[in-house]
Amino acid sequence: MNGADGRPLARFGYGRPVVGRVVLVSHRVPAFAGSAAPSGLVTALKPGATAFGGLWMGWSGRCVAAAERRLSLGTRANVDYAWLDLTAPEYRHHYAGFCNQTLWPLLHGLTDRVRGNPEDYRAYRSVNHLFAWRLAPLLQPDDCVWIHDYHLIPLGAELRALGVRNRIGFFLHTPCPSPVAWRALPMHGPLLASLRAYDLIGVQTALDADGLCRLLTAVAHAPAAEFVASRIGVFPASIATGVVAALARACDDGMHACRPDRGCQRVLGVDRLDPAKGIDRRLAGFDAFLRDHPDRHGRTELLQVIPDSRRGVPGYQRLRARLNARTAAINARYRQPGWVPVHTMMKGLAAPALIGLYRTARVALLTPLRDGMNLVAKEYVAAQDPDDPGVLILSRHAGAARELAGAVPVDPEDAEQIAYAIERALTLSLPERRQRWSGMYRHLLTHDALGWYADFVSALNSAPCARLSSTPRP
């Protein structure tokens, strides 16, 4: 069997092979996530799914009347898909409501943005039950089920309630909240109790594993030793490193379209439109950089790519307006004939165009307030020219900061520190840039998306069985 970049999987040395069929379940699936700007979840999962095959179930991207709802089946690129329709109220209350206005801000420490709505929670539970009801008949006896992210926390317990005895794993792509923050949810107890249905729970960092253990111990009264020893594992999500690097090399001949004008050094940010990404403070940091370094005027630009997201979630359009206003103020203050300091792209980009921007940017400026991993940081490193690599500036609060030791670390809320980091990154010597980049790139070659996928599934296949324990339905 070959990997996503065409190499035989045997050469990766991933330990035990994947046993049986892997059934992935996530809110969205690649076929409907959009080719221009796939989510981090899809970026991490798709290489392994394509290489190993299996079934992937998720929302179809369609909202229909309840009487018209259907489960569609199909096969694409070695993967069988099951696409489930939702109704408009389910989408509004489950996804736009409980997932994105309650769980998402809670998980990212934005407690002032958490909205609690009983109708949203009822829809969240109903959609998880629907997923379980439609998935259970598709399962084979030797399947292992791998459920992804906060949209589907109770799904394992719902499957157990339907009599499913397969191994079931769960992976949380976001950070783990503190017990104090979690207790703010009226329904925190049932949600955490539902985690007992899983044979293995994967998180991004050791800090998240420790936090989840403390959370379960303090809030759900779970035996800490049981979860630490055998039920919680650290599995940092990653990218198809070799594929990104090869695509960057292949794009070299057409890079002129991606390069900044007039020899400017480009600072690049790539983030979804989201308050957790820290874009507002990043713009403040670039403003401070221009204030402190007038010699950089006309020679440095910030390009911020912001794929639009979650249009139905209140507050996101206000965030867009605030970012546009700050960008306009910076440009009005510093622009010169032939030079505009800040450019924004409010759209997603196809992979070749995005990788071209990575390859030609002198600096990547990625400053999320809190982030489970941040795969953009890893893609930027993988896309660099080994002879003339760029510099990564990365928030200390991104999971990727635990792996990418060659990055320049920053406090994402400190505009002055961001300004200092930009100047430092622009002035690093070529030997130091190469040294920083090479260590990160070597790490990503040996810790890529296929390894992440195989490591989790192997661990799930050998984990103690939760399916024989009592797993109350949330």
Q: Identify whether 371 is a catalytic site residue.
A: yes
Sheet holding 391-395: strands in order across?
342-345, 300-305, 265-270, 363-366, 391-395, 408-410
Q: Where are the domains of the chain?
A: 9-238+450-462, 241-446
Average model confidence (pLDDT) across the chain = 89
**pLDDT score at 8:** 36
The beta strands (E) that lie in 292-400 are given as: 300-305, 342-345, 363-366, 391-395
Pick the CATH number of 9-238+450-462 from 3.40.50.970, 1.10.275.10, 3.40.50.2000, 3.40.1710.10: 3.40.50.2000
Beta bridge partners of 2: 8
**For the residues 350-375, what does the mean pLDDT come to?**
96
Could you check whether 9-238+450-462 and 241-446 share the same CATH topology? yes
Question: Is the pLDDT score of 263 beyond 80?
Answer: no
Beta bridge partners of 391: 363
What confidence tens digit (pLDDT) does each residue in 424-452 have?
Answer: 999 999 999 999 999 999 999 999 999 99
Question: Is the pLDDT score of 293 beyond 90?
Answer: yes
**Residue in the block written with tokens 């923050």:** 181
Give me the half-sphere count of Cα atoms (radius 13 Å) on the Cβ side of residue 20.
19
Q: Nearest Cα to 458, choosing from 160, 22, 147?
A: 22
Q: Residue 73: what residue type?
A: L
What confidence tens digit (pLDDT) does each residue in 138-153 have?
Answer: 999 999 999 999 999 9
Q: Residue 262: what residue type?
A: R
Q: Residue 153: is it exposed, middle or buried by C-beta count within 10 angstroms (0-12/13-18/19+)?
A: buried
Residues 466/20, Cβ–Cβ less than 8 Å: no
Residues 363/426, Cβ–Cβ less than 8 Å: yes
**pLDDT score at 430:** 98
DSSP 158-192: HHHHTT--SEEEEE--SPPPPHHHHTTSTTHHHHH
The Cα–Cα gap between 386 and 345 comes to 27
**pLDDT score at 253:** 65
Show Cβ contacts of residue 358 under 8 Å, excluding neighbours closer than 6 positions. 248, 268, 364, 379, 380, 383, 384, 390
User: Which of 27, 94, 148, 173 is flagged as catalytic?
Assistant: 173
**pLDDT score at 11:** 28
Run of H or E residues at 52: helix 40-52
Question: Is the pLDDT score of 254 beyond 80?
Answer: no
**For the residues 162-170, what does the mean pLDDT come to?**
97
What confidence tens digit (pLDDT) does each residue in 445-471 have?
Answer: 999 999 999 999 999 999 877 654 445
Q: Residue 336: what residue type?
A: Q
Residues 24/83, Cβ–Cβ less than 8 Å: no
Domain 241-446: assigned CATH number: 3.40.50.2000
Min mean pLDDT across 21-30, 74-83, 229-238, 444-453 is at 229-238
419 or 471, greater pLDDT: 419
**pLDDT score at 259:** 61
User: Which of 85, 143, 149, 371 is flagged as catalytic?
Assistant: 371
Taken in order 288, 391, 12, 249, the sign of the CA dihedral is positive
The Cα–Cα gap between 303 and 311 comes to 22
240 or 466, greater pLDDT: 240
